[in-house]
Amino acid sequence: MSLNPARRLPGPPITTRPGLPWLVAIACLLSLPVRAETVAPIEDWRQANETVGRFERGHIDLLRWEAEHLPTPSPEAPAPSASWTLHEAIVAAQRTRPDLLAQPGLNARERAQLQLRQRELALQVERAWLQAIAARHAAATHRQVLEAALAGHELALRMARVGNWPQARQQRESLLLLDAQAQWQLAEHAQRAAVIELWRLTGAEWAPEVLAQRLPADLPAEALPPHDPPTLDALEQTALDNHPLWRWQALEAHRARQAVGDLQPLLTAIRQATAADPTSGRPQPLPGFDRPQRWPHAWDKALQTHLETEALERRIRADVRIAHSAWQTAQRLAQDHAAEAARLHTALEEDMLQRYNGMFKSTWDLLAAARARLQAVNEAQQARLGAALAWAELRAVLDGLPYTGAAPRSTSAAAAAADQGH
């Protein structure tokens, strides 16, 4: 999109809403009369000053009066009365996968494998459901950032038009607007893509546009992890008890050991065969037995079953520990960093608004504080999404699935706060 500084860029209308006092203030400034470009700049300033002079306390009274007389924004379409819950999304997805329904006559191993595939489907749906909710929230936040950039761009145009504002500063606001537009468009695309992915997985009866309106406005409390989870040892035992294949594998290994007796001689022979080179201490390039080993075929089967069971147990315990560490890290990022940064930025903006006196220098400080706060709010929401996804991954591991989550990511809220201070 090419930017023409002489005209207002297309974008969402500048509206006022609860929780955005800075936008009310900027919108009031933009409501001051500004003549066409052919009128002398001094006339614009004279009329603006006369408007301010009619109020006892100048800009402050003017802003309050204008805020009370701003046109009421057009009402938005009413949201559905009920949100589409995660359980409803999982049930809808199950209806699209009849191949995962249990059939009569399945043996224990087949039922266990089918159960894991059902749990994998539920995890996919939960991921998509959480990401769609967070993407919708992020798009709304980026829209507010765009509204702030539109306000700054419009104000810079008016100040440049009356001749008391350098073109370089006005162009800087135009660049901020271009960046805000790009980020908003990317957020809108991310929202559409996330909703379409949820729609694809669930086969929802509504179109993706309708499905987006039926999602919760924010991450539900039940999607977030508890503050006092069980201990790591308890989680590992829960994962072992809930894993259908491990229970079946452990039972098979127990039966095989009972059939052949003690497996310790075989384990001792393997340990000796794989011992390090006694001279160099390095692993042997081709470890093996120094004499023929003769034992019944049943011993081979029992040994293989025993080793497979131990390997599966190690994998389950390792997945629990990795998922638990990822969840703890993501939760700390959400609670101790992103949420606190959002609170500090909100306090910073409130303080800025209290000291706002209507002068244009303070206006730019107000806009910068608003952008920083909105950025922190978006990062806090992304951190909460990371914690919710990490909690979902941990619960999936406890249900028997392998860990497939990504490493937790930090936010740049602290960097934004540092930039704000300079």
Q: Could you say which of 198, 223, 248 is where a domain stops?
A: 223
Please identify which residue in the block is written with the tokens 């310790």.
Answer: 264
Pair (250, 144) in one structural domain: no
Same structural domain for residues 244 and 308? yes
Kindly state whether residues 63 and 139 are assigned to the same domain. no
Q: Are residues 50 and 114 in the same domain?
A: no
In a domain, 281, yes or no: no
Percentage of the chain modeled with pLDDT above 70: 67
Same domain, yes or no: 255 and 396 = yes
DSSP-assigned states of every residue in 8-52 = PPP-S-----TT-HHHHHHHHHHTS----TTS-HHHHHHHHHHHH
Does a structural domain hold residue 81?
no
Query: Is the pLDDT at 27 greater than 70, yes or no?
Result: no
Domain contains 127: yes
Tally of domains within the chain: 3
Mean pLDDT confidence for 67-74: 48
Is the pLDDT reported for residue 136 higher than 90? yes
Is it the case that residue 180 has pLDDT exceeding 80?
A: yes
151 neighbors 176 (Cβ within 8 angstroms) = no
Residue 421 lies in a domain: yes
**Interatomic CA distance for residues 180 and 142, integer angstroms:** 7
Q: Is 276 inside a domain boundary?
A: no
Same domain, 361 and 231: yes
Residue 1 located in a structural domain: no
**Tokens (6 digits) for 230:** 């069980």
b/e code 391-418 from CB counts within 10 Å (16+ = b): bbbbbbbbbbbebebeebeebebbebbe
**pLDDT given for residue 24 in this prediction:** 55
- Asked if pLDDT for residue 333 goes beyond 50, the answer is yes
Inside any domain, residue 278: no
Domain boundary pick from 71, 105, 132: 71
Helix (H, G, I), strand (E, B) or coil at 292: coil
Flag the least confident range among 2-11, 345-354, 391-400. Answer: 2-11
pLDDT per residue over 238-265, tens digit each?
999 988 888 888 888 877 777 677 767 7
Highest mean pLDDT among 141-150, 268-277, 281-290: 141-150
313 and 188 belong to one structural domain: no
Q: Is residue 95 part of a domain?
A: yes
Average pLDDT, the chain: 76
Per-residue pLDDT tens over the stretch 278-328: 777 777 676 666 656 666 666 777 778 888 888 999 999 999 999 999 999
Q: How far is CA 169 from CA 29, 90, 252, 285, in A?
A: 18, 52, 75, 70
What's the pLDDT band for 82 if we cut at 50, 70, 90? low
| Domain membership of residue 43 as a residue range | 19-71
Q: Quick one: 36 and 161 in the same domain?
A: no
Same domain assignment for residues 307 and 416: yes
Of 147, 161, 155, 152, nearest to 6 (Cα)? 161
Rounded (to 5) percent helix, strand, coil in the chain: 70, 0, 30
Geometric angle at alpha carbon 151, from 146 and 152, rounded to 5°: 95
pLDDT in tens, 111-127: 888 989 999 999 999 99
Same domain, residue pair 376 and 401: yes
For residues 40 and 145, state if they share a domain: no
| Same domain membership, residue 382 and residue 257 | yes
